[in-house]
Amino acid sequence: MERWQHILKKSLIKADQISTEFDLESEKIDRVIAEYPARINPHFMALIQKKHDPIYKQVVPDEREILDDVGVDDPLNEEGDSPVPSIVHRYKDRALLMVTNQCAIYCRFCTRKRLAGKRPISKKMVHRGIDYIRDHKEIKDVILSGGDPLILKNKVLEEILERVRDIPHIEIIRIGTRIPNALPQRITKNLCRMLKKYHPLYMNINFIHPREITGEVTAACNRLADAGIPLGSQTVLLKGINDDLETIKELMQKLIAIRVKPYYLYQADLTRGTEHMRTSVECGLDILRGLQGQISGFAIPKFIVDLPGGGGKVALLPSDTVIELNERELIVKNYENKIYRYPQVTSEKLTYEESLNLTPQNGRSIR
């Protein structure tokens, strides 16, 4: 058994363990985890500084999870886009292959709470999914997901990667994971040596709060990057956890420092059991607006709403950026709230001076 497996084995998973550790009512915890399993591994546990801090809220069961009557079990209608049990095929050229329902920690905000830690995904189901991908030549991009694919043993994971890579029409493989920050000990040299055999291979890692970025996490991401794997981040905006500009700014700056490109900042899905963790859409837009001009554009993620019912992902931008757009020009506000004109290609020509800042002392644009 490898070190990471020993660590995982010591996770808090039972109500009496969790209630004792955090001085909670065991009966309440038991009711929650009967519906939504818990797992708090020792690495992530060590990041918790006090009850109800941003790390605690991500993994410790909350009675409000089973009192939520707003959300739905499958908010993105993944089952409606699932031609075989292990596949979600929403977009024509890509498919998501579910390889496990197990994770190193069980996030209380997971969009797949209905599945996490519950019924297993069998080897036969995974092979059926790969057969589906092989039969659909329009699929160019496969995302391994779950659960967390990196929870699988190297041998099992490599068999899946090898089968997918052997399909001639598959151009890229992606892995969606939280393990590099939830259980960085899993990112061994042997794992990285195996993964680099299946390029082009990309990895998107879930990061929620800057305190997750420890020395071990930095080393894990460096090992992956050194194996030639481009790393991106996916962050869910969560109430009382990371729903302010300074927290997100710090997280994004720390991510680029450990060779992880900020990719998506998600509005939380309408998942049953997570209503108490959701933020307003305006909160995300305000944060996105605040990041402009404050950190490198390379470090600014897209703000994404994954539409209910399977409508797909939509990127949102602050609505007050564009003041006016017509055949002649674009009038736009920059990160300093100064207003500029940008001439259209077929419009009446503007001089360079006319395109400069148009914000006078009273804050109204000059026309």
Catalytic residue among 31, 91, 198, 211: 91
Q: Is 342 a catalytic site residue?
A: no
Query: Catalytic pick from 110, 132, 186, 263?
Result: 110
* CB of 238 closer than 8 Å to CB of 208: yes
Region for residue 51 given its phi and psi (left: phi exceeds 0; alpha: psi -120 to 50; beta: otherwise):
beta
Catalytic position from the list 186, 263, 269, 272: 269
Q: Find the catalytic residue in 39, 57, 103, 148.
A: 103
Decide if 148 is catalytic.
no
Q: Is 313 a catalytic residue?
A: yes
Which of the residues 14, 28, 90, 128 is marked catalytic?
Answer: 90
CA distance 169 to 340: 46
Given the residues 14, 134, 313, 328, select the one marked as catalytic. 313
> Is-catalytic flag, 269?
yes
Tell me if residue 186 is catalytic. Answer: no
Catalytic residue flag (residue 94): yes
Smallest CA-to-CA distance from 60 within 104, 119, 13, 7 is with 13
Coil, helix or strand at residue 142: strand
Residue 51 sits at φ, ψ, to 5 deg, of -60, 140
- Mark whether 211 is an active-site residue: no
Catalytic residue among 39, 94, 249, 272: 94
Identify which of 157, 155, 156, 148 has the alpha carbon closest to the alpha carbon of residue 184. Answer: 148
Q: Which of 57, 112, 186, 272 is catalytic?
A: 112
Helix or strand or coil: residue 73? coil
For residues 124 and 79, the answer to whether their CB atoms sit within 8 Å is no
- HEC readout, 184-198: HHHCCHHHHHHHHHH
On the CB side of 106, CA atoms within 13 Å amount to 23
131 is known as an active-site residue: no
Q: Which residues of 261-282 are buried (b: 16+ CB within 10 A; e: fewer)?
A: ebbbbbbbbbbbbbbbbbbeee
- 110 counts as catalytic: yes
Residues noted as catalytic: 90-91, 94, 103, 107, 110, 112, 269, 306, 313
